[in-house]
Amino acid sequence: MQKLVINGGKKLSGEVTIGGAKNSTVALIPAAILSDTPVVLDSVPQIRDVKNLRSILKDMNVTSEMKDDVLKIDPTKIQFAELPSGKVSSLRASYYFMGAMLGRFGKAIVGFPGGDDIGPRPIDQHIKGFEALGAHVENKHGQIIITTPNGGLKGAKIFLDMVSVGATINVILAAVKAKGTTIIENAAKEPEIIDLATFLNNMGAVIRGVGTETIRIEGVDSLRSNNAHTIIPDRIEAGTYLSLAAANGGGILVKNIISEHLDAFLAKLDEMGVNLEIGEDSIYVKDSPELKAVNIKTMPYPALPLIYSNQSHLC
């Protein structure tokens, strides 16, 4: 697509259904290789990231099949494979394969992550977590090479120097099969982390405390998927449509929403004077002709995340 042509001057109305959360999906697909049985994910968004992650799965002899928004992943014949930078550089979330492969094979060789240009995302906290579990990490020629001792990974107490969604997820993936207890302190609290833990717990993992700053993981020997996992709605997509409805809507219903995931965002919409009707799993945005400016301070979740002030143009 070379350009977008927008003919404005009209109020928008109607309804839209929010898809599955991208930030959950890109963690759940790598997590699927930890299972000893096939995995089914429901409400998978049809985005390029999913296609790229499926390509990485194929390199490990993991088959996948997607029909509509249902993705079936079969890791039963998985084989260890190096993931070169050329394959993973287009997607930052590919670094979740570090934790997943470490949990599955006890080793990982992954090229440095790439992704959208939205600022630096150092992975030092990921490495700190892996090393605390007993892994040896080295950087050679643009690749992260992670190995573990003969005894495998062992549970540890890990304090993250900064709140990091990626590091929290990666340590969970690595620790879920480690021997003993792992405690992650100063952990990120995002709903996508809760979604990942729910997925793993339903397969037999023992993860407690997600959604708080302290997560406790009791290592298990194996994980087995028995039921399809439905991915949570994408709160960033929801926030974008709600902003659109507030700015130029004549009555828009946004469906498939978990409003608790949007508490800080909805509070700002209310402060602006947006007329909202919040239902059990939907939000109706009425015509709001008189909006006022508000001050916004972004902080880690559950406060208003930076991504909303960038994408939703609240001020």
Distance CA 275, CA 155 (A): 49
Distance CA 155, CA 178 (A): 6
CA distances from 258 to 44, 228, 237, 253 (A): 16, 19, 12, 14
Answer yes or no: are the C-beta atoms of 265 and 308 closer than 8 Å: yes
Distance CA 160, CA 220 (A): 23
Strand duo 181-185 + 157-159: pairing: parallel
Answer yes or no: are the C-beta atoms of 243 and 30 closer than 8 Å: no
59 is catalytic: no
Which is the catalytic residue, given 68, 116, 117, 221?
116
- 207-234 per-residue burial string, b: 16 or more CB within 10 A, e: under 16: bebbeeeebbbebbeebebeeebbbbbb
User: Which residues are known catalytic residues?
Assistant: 116
